[in-house]
Chain A
Amino acid sequence: MGNLDVKAMMIDYLSGNLSETEERDFEVQLEKDPVLKEEFLEMSFFWKSENIEIPEPTMEMDRKFYEMLNEEVKEEQKDSSLVRFVKRIEVLPFRKVFYALGILTIGFFLGKEMNNVKEIHIPEEVRVAQKETEQVRSQLVLTLLDQPSANQRLQAVNEVSKLSEVTETIIKALFATLNNDENVNVRLSAIESLKKYTDMPIVREGLVASIVHQKSPLVQIELADVMVLLQEKEAVKPFKELIDQEGINSSAKQKIEESISNIY
């Protein structure tokens, strides 16, 4: 390998454009030649320094994107629904209507029939579009809950409030977040979202069951408030277990004791 070749390989090496064998050869050369190594270190400085200080994009960027995506999905469904609707209209017996013009009664009834068909199909199309949007939103929630960024998981929990109905999968995912998420804000938001569905037995049971899993005083206090609101007697036992635990925060303990006395 000529000296010029090796020098040219520096940039290829830094930019990951060498094959494994070429990389190894280059590293051997680098070890052998201290002058080359010095040049390489200098070039690495030019290569690597720029990567350091890129800020994180804000949640606003995600919000705008998902808003745009939801709009796009709605449009797509509206379009496809419209195409289906037009196709249905096309196959309707317009010709027969013209043929039957001579017979007023038949024409009248056919016309009425067509109006009925329209009345039935339009709400049906809208209903399907709404259902599909809901499904997209649910998928979005599940995808975002799996993201490593706490901001995105928070966004996921907030997206739940936009759903008109929640599936059992979403509820389970929210409980998994409440019991396992490392971020307190995400867990608090999960409680906030679950509060809206306390008419479902699975949610009430899940909230009671999660009491003993909580280590953060903020989450414990929030759960205590929810249980008073729900007047959930089943919560008394796990709360008592919680206050008996060593190292429980004194404010949380006081709050839980007050809450227990407020659950009649």
Chain B
Amino acid sequence: MLKVKSGESHTLGLLYERYKKRLFGFFFQMSKDASLCEDLVQNVFIRVIKYKHTYTEESNFLSWIFKIARNVYYDHFKGKNKNKTYDIEEQYDVCSFENAENTIEQTERIMLLKKAINQLPEAKKELIILSKIKELKYKELGEIIGCSEGNARIRVHRALHDLKKIYLTLDKR
């Protein structure tokens, strides 16, 4: 990234190759709209170029780029009354094919979990998705969402417990 900052923009291609899937995965889990996600990934890199001067040697690149990704995501939906939720069957088409060999019970459990995740408030859903990215520890997570490491840990714990509660409530119905 320091090379990109110093004017060697062509090296951005390497960063793109390295991070595109993680960014796409983040957006997809948030929005479930693959075509939108591709545009959002593109927007992230447009902002990387635009704001490259804000990157410093001390910055953690992953935190920095996910901070941008988060802003891109929220800016996209800001002020728009876009319906971000889709019919649950439609969203998980891929999932249902992939799980064709699994038992019906397992598939149902996963579907229920997706439903529960969808019912989580946006901020908690985002926390769970981000915390699943391998390299993002509580410290980096705190940097992205703007809180301390300890606070990030508490928020992740709460989000996961809330998810479990919602799931269990749905399961009882």
Q: Which of B66-74, B81-89, B153-161 contacts A (4 or more CB under 8 A)?
A: B153-161
Chain A contacts for B132, CB-based, 8 A: 15, 47, 50-51
Q: Which A1-22 residues have a C-beta within 8 angstroms of B?
A: 8, 11-12, 15-17
Number of chain B residues whose Cβ lies closer than 8 Å to a Cβ of chain A? 46
Q: Which of A53-61, A196-204, A211-219, A241-249 contacts B (4 or more CB under 8 A)?
A: A53-61
When C-beta atoms are compared, the residue in chain B nearest to A74 turns out to be B9
Pick the contact of B92: A47, A53, A61, A65 (CB < 8 A).
A53
Q: How far is the CA of A15 from the CA of B92 in the complex (A)?
A: 24
B166 to chain A, nearest CB (A): 10
Pick the contact of A50: B20, B29, B156, B157 (CB < 8 A).
B29
B113 to chain A, nearest CB (A): 5
Contact present for A143 and B13 (CB under 8 Å)? yes
Pick the contact of A69: B10, B94, B114 (CB < 8 A).
B10
B1 at the interface (CB under 8 A from A): no
Contact present for B95 and A46 (CB under 8 Å)? no
When C-beta atoms are compared, the residue in chain A nearest to B95 turns out to be A53
Chain A contacts for B156, CB-based, 8 A: 11, 15
Chain A contacts for B79, CB-based, 8 A: none
Contact present for B10 and A136 (CB under 8 Å)? yes
Given the known A-B contacts A11-B157, A45-B113, A57-B37, are A76 and B7 also in contact in the complex, defined by CB atoms under 8 Å?
yes
A80 at the interface (CB under 8 A from B): yes
A252 to chain B, nearest CB (A): 35
Contact present for A73 and B9 (CB under 8 Å)? yes
Q: How far is the CA of A50 from the CA of B26 in the complex (A)?
A: 11
Given the known A-B contacts A58-B38, A60-B38, are A11 and B160 also in contact in the complex, defined by CB atoms under 8 Å?
yes
Q: Which A37-91 residues have a C-beta within 8 angstroms of B?
A: 42-43, 45-47, 49-58, 60-62, 64-66, 68-69, 72-73, 76, 80
When C-beta atoms are compared, the residue in chain A nearest to B97 turns out to be A53
Residues of A that sit less than 8 Å from B by CB: 8, 11-12, 15-17, 42-43, 45-47, 49-58, 60-62, 64-66, 68-69, 72-73, 76, 80, 136, 139-140, 143, 147, 152
Residues of B that sit less than 8 Å from A by CB: 7, 9-10, 12-14, 16-17, 20-21, 24-25, 28-29, 34, 37-38, 41-42, 45-46, 49, 92, 94-95, 98-99, 109-110, 113-114, 117, 128-129, 131-132, 134, 137-138, 153, 156-157, 160, 163-164, 167
Report 6 cross-chain contacts, Cβ distance below 8 Å, ordered by A residue. Answer: A17-B138, A45-B113, A46-B167, A54-B29, A55-B28, A61-B38
